[in-house]
Structure 1
Amino acid sequence: MFEQITHENILDNALNEVKNDVDKREGSIIFDAISPHAKQLYELYFSMDGMIREMFGDTASREFLIKLCKDRGIAPESATKAIRKGEFNINVPIGARFSLDTLDYVVTEKIREGIFKLKCETAGSLGNYDFGNLIPIDYIDGLQTAVLSEVLIPGEDEELTEDLRKRYLESFDALAFGGNRKDYKDKVHSLQGVGGVKMYRVREGNYNVKIVVMDAQYQKPSSVMLENLQTAIDPEVNQGEGLGIAPIGHVVKVEGVTETSIDFTFNITFDIGYDWALLEFDVQKMVDEYFLELKKNWQDNTKIIIRIAQLESRALAINGVLDIQNTLINGIAENLAIDENSIPVRGVISE
């Protein structure tokens, strides 16, 4: 709004208001008297511009966006701690602590003999990545093996500013109320580990609502995560009673996305000095990145479509690839649409 206002413009406009029979040259009394006030006025305009930007959700900085969100009953989602599976040769005590590289984990619950839930002590997605042998922080008699394995519930980082801004702006488009779609979407997304959600009205036995979720790593959720979500949304022991986030009368079934393995055959012409053995990893990485983009938009689309044109254009961007043609998806030279509640995973890639 104030992009055209400068200190020089303000000063010139002020000097133009002074009669021409007065000396207005730089260094004159009138020039030296007006110039500091013009600078202060410019600073005032600059501050007003910043204040106006902070008043609106599409331009506000994070600090003021959070204040605006409070008026809509919205708060930024905090970082959460990853829940992992630990495998031991003995039953370790609840509360025992272990370390792996730079992170520490604490035993929180027994799953079965020698298998326990561990919570990362550091909040955020960092707790999702390490796998391998754990080192006990305190001595445990009889402990011979301790392995950190599966991610049961992914840890999530603090909500990004642009994601919070999107939620704020979307809050004006649809009202979340009493178990409508927006209400379910908002509340399920607020639960730990959820990266995508779809809701359906169904008639499956006693169920009248089905919720399909993808985890925060854009993968199929673990059985532990699904159990936690079911309990938080509509506990199985008293379904339909409104004791979770689902309204009374809603009998909800929570399911995870399925995974569809997809094979590819590429006919690639390589540049001099390159071959399939050298570029196979780059092609696999390209496919994984394409799949990740599709999975991030899974909840907003009826179904995911794997497109040959997208694969070939991305392959051509790989250094060492001169040309590509006759690409096959699962042995067929056609785009592939997968089930609406499924996400793609990379299968066999050949050349």
Structure 2
Amino acid sequence: MQTSPAHAAHHEDREIETLEEFDAVVSARGTLSGFRVQAVDLTDRTRELLTTDTTGAVFLGCRMRPDAEAKTRADGALVLPPLPGLPFDPYRGHLYTPDDLFASLDKGYEETPDALAYAWFQRTRADGDIFASMLRAVHDDSMSDALDELLRGARVVGVMGGHAMARGTEEYRGAARLGRALARTGFTVATGGGPGAMEAANLGAYAAPYDDPVLDEACELLAAAPSFTPSISDWARAAFEVRTRWPKGGHSVGIPTWFYGHEPPNAFASRIAKYFANATREDGLLARCNAGVVFLPGAAGTVQEVFDNATPNYYESRGKPTPMVLVNRAHWTEKLPAWPLLRSLARERSMEARIALVDRIEEAPEALKHLLG
């Protein structure tokens, strides 16, 4: 699970998250002692488990036959078995893909793993079950661990903005072009993983490997279902139609939450770290944007993200302040005047040289480049 930076490399050397990794370790080392095996189906590896030392190993949600399980327990291994009946795997070793979360979409969004996990969350949150709370925490820590592994060495730029931005609008197309420009520059685009501005930025990164007209065509297709209300199913199907037509999209990350259950994840982030705890998700999203954040117009959630990001920049608690680019002067100085407060906070501090306000979304990549130096 999550490890401190000082021990991260050592612990990752001991993590096994796929059957291929399991086979490689058994073959090369001849022992599983001290290893952590995470959510791997080992029902066809009974012989290996019976003949390999598993002293001090940890098996998290691994399926195995009864005789293999009995032997590993006798060795002194910790075995936490899979939990039947859950719509998610709390020990999951990898981030989600859109196909994972939207499986069974042909039967309606309500039948997808994403919707079923939210329904489970609503039930268990209401009754205050400590076991369910523990499962949510384990799942979220698994997400953080997988996200750290995915983003190691990446230059990550966050794109924040409201979920209400409709497909088919010029604002949506602008956010998509921004995501494309950032991806083509070599950044990994990270968003809150939901609809609206978040989807647009992930879409832009998805379209980055294709010629420019593809993004315009994709936006036209999506405009047939402009919002996730009233039908999440129609909204999601339009996205998968785009993915089917252009199947080799670029990579980006979405980091959504089941806390906002009315808000589905978008299908254009290639990897999705979905959390139950919104506070963990918010802090983790911003903390991983090591190359800066672009803030598009949004409401309360986006305002919160501006100052969630400003706080560690102000105190330099994460080292050198990361760039912050706010887009749309009227929005951030008149409608929701976050910019004057941000500028006042930054005055005479090192973050002062790392913030910018631009009028148009097309100016954001150059402003970010300037702030990065």
Alignment TM class, shorter chain as reference: under 0.3
Question: Which structure: greater strand fraction?
Answer: 1
Larger radius of gyration: 1
Question: Which structure: greater helix fraction?
Answer: 2
TM-score of the pair, normalised by structure 2: 0.21
User: RCO (CA 8 Å, sep 6+): is it higher in 1 or 2?
Assistant: 2
TM-score of the pair, normalised by structure 1: 0.22
